[in-house]
Amino acid sequence: MLKDDSKFTIQKFREAVPSLSFGYDGYKDLSTWHRVYPAAEFQKDENDNLQMKSCNGLLLLSFKNILKPEDVQLVKKQVAFLPSTLIAVTGADGRSVEVLVRFTDREGGLPTDEIHADRLYQTAYRQILPIYQSIIHETVASQKPSIRSHFLLTFDPDPFFNPQAVALKIDEELMRQESTTPSTPEVKSDSTDKKEKGLKGSKENIEKMIKYLNEKYDLRYNKVMKYTEYVPKEKEWYGFRAVEPRVQKSLTLEVQLAGINVSIKDVKNFLESSYIKSYNPVEDFLFSCYEKWDGKDHIRALARTVPTNTPQWEDWFYTWFLAMVEQWHNHAGRQYGNSVAPLLISKQGYNKSTFCRRLIPPELQWGYTDNLILSEKRQVLQAMSQCLLINLDEFNQISANVQQGFLKNLIQLPSVKYKPPYGSHVQEFPRTASFIATSNMDDILTDPSGNRRFIGIELTGPIDVSVRPNYLQLFAQAETAIWKGEKTYFDAEQTALIMENNKKYQQADPIMQCFAESFEPTEDEDKGKFMTAAAIYGELKAKYGASLEAKSLLSFGRSLKNIDGMKRKRTMKGTEYLVIKRE
């Protein structure tokens, strides 16, 4: 409802809420209020019982005890960030937000019977709630998730509504696996409990330990770095630090010295459990930029601090920057990653590395690295899921085999799979990192099939790093552009221009230089002769001697195919190229 009824029923209820210390049940006429059942459409049977008519595929998440009106609006803005949010409205009490999230089963459909629908709904609740809790730090209503979950009819003059919300696909196998796990039997209270109260690991001691640590420290689980962080409450200026093994031992001793009989395993279990609220520093930073763009083009202005004669640089940098920011969001179901990297080329002292480092705001500088060792593949994959920007410094030192193989595949991955340290099996993690590169040499690209993964930019002078970037406006502009659906990838036309631009940075293969001196391509079949790569190589070998070597006939053939104006055809001998011998 966009407005209250003529009796101002909801407004009067909201005015009475502060005085309802023991819940809302005693409020007059509350039992007669309309309830909204968003998950399904119901109809009454002959006995006046509700029966499901159809499943709507909507999950209800209720965030409560939000005391400030501005915080209510903040929660609505936060959930609007997630593409699966259909509706977010202020609750009837004015201190809650009702959020409706779209979902389907794994096949994209919805159940037709209530039992199956309820099971899918509960699975959806377990899988979707943590996603929303990672960005919303408010209390979730404790009602049991059910296809009959409901909320009081409310009004909100400024609701959030996204008719194009994307349904999350829910895997019911997770529910089946959980249902086959033996449940822990409930321990009845008897005289044995009294004897065990002083034992390590007892329920009472664990509860005391949790309370003690929560009273002395702020704890949070960093979803990007994948570890728990802490800060003493009386030393918030200290900043959050990782709970390393040494810190974990210190916390254990502190709890034990306070007279709480627990083991280091008990403390570790708590610190590594879902009892610790999740925190995503990247999402928090990006949300702080939400709706704050001043309308000026800060991204292209930053690109202009890089002096170059490449006219498309500003537009290419703009698209790449949007792709980098979108990569940070970790949207589920991505089919590709940010698969292009700017490559800044100049002599030393032109501030290339400084420019790259300054692309990341100070709050997120932990996410920048320029000392990655590509031969250590697990370290590289881990960095792609934890870093935000990877600078391939001294790009000219990367071998041709790595460029054409591992790196070419790596840069386009939407997610990465590796076994984390101390892990027992390989896991899949969303990719967050984008790439940028620098080089002091200009003949560095080696892929004979074309170099569309890099944007070669030769600098004509030092990069201007005298002015600190306006990070708020840079990322506010990027967020606004992404929200409006601007393109975050390079289309076929742009890719062709990039590949044409990169030809001047292609590493000159000696055999191709010999080819250029001995042959030239033609389209006139009367003047030229069709020859295979092997035949051409044989003639070059005979002319220049045994010292002339090709990496392989396959790579030589790829290089011939990429020569402008080269005509070729398939025959029984293989691919033949139309060439003229130079005199």
Q: What does the alpha-carbon distance between residue 558 and residue 556 come to, in Å, rounded to a whole number?
A: 5
Q: Where are the domains of the chain?
A: 9-175, 195-279, 284-505, 510-581
What are the tokens at 143? 């009602």
pLDDT at site 2: 63
**Cα–Cα distance measured from residue 555 to residue 561, given in angstroms and rounded to the nearest whole number:** 10
* Span of 222-226, 319-323, 423-427 with lowest mean pLDDT: 423-427
* Position 404 pLDDT exceeds 70: no
Where do we find the tokens 């609740």? 125
Asked if pLDDT for residue 312 goes beyond 70, the answer is yes
180 and 236 Cβ atoms separated by less than 8 Å: no
Neighbours of 452 (CB within 10 A): 17
CA distance 60 to 168: 14
pLDDT of 552 reads: 64
Q: Residue 267: its pLDDT value, please?
A: 93
Whether the domain at 284-505 and the domain at 510-581 fall into the same CATH topology? no
pTM tops 0.75, yes or no: no
Give the chain's mean pLDDT: 84
Range scoring the smallest mean pLDDT among 159-163, 476-480, 531-535, 541-545: 541-545
User: pLDDT tens digits for 246-298?
Assistant: 999 999 999 999 999 999 999 999 999 989 998 888 988 998 888 899 999 99
Report whether 429 contacts 416 (CB < 8 A).
yes
Q: Which of 36-45, 170-179, 319-328 has the highest mean pLDDT?
A: 319-328
Predicted local distance difference test score (pLDDT) of residue 239: 77
Residue 37's nearest CA partner among 157, 173, 150 is 150
pLDDT(195) > 50:
no
Confidence bin at 243 (pLDDT 50/70/90):
very high
Looking at domain 510-581, which of 3.10.530, 1.10.3470, 1.10.10, 1.20.120 is its CATH number? 1.10.10
Q: How confident is the model at residue 62, as a pLDDT?
A: 92
Q: DSSP per residue over 336-393, as a string?
A: -----EEEEE--TTS-HHHHHHTTS-GGGGGGEES---TT-HHHHHHHHHH-SEEEE-
For 284-505, the fitting CATH number among 2.60.40, 3.60.60, 3.40.1010, 3.40.50 is: 3.40.50
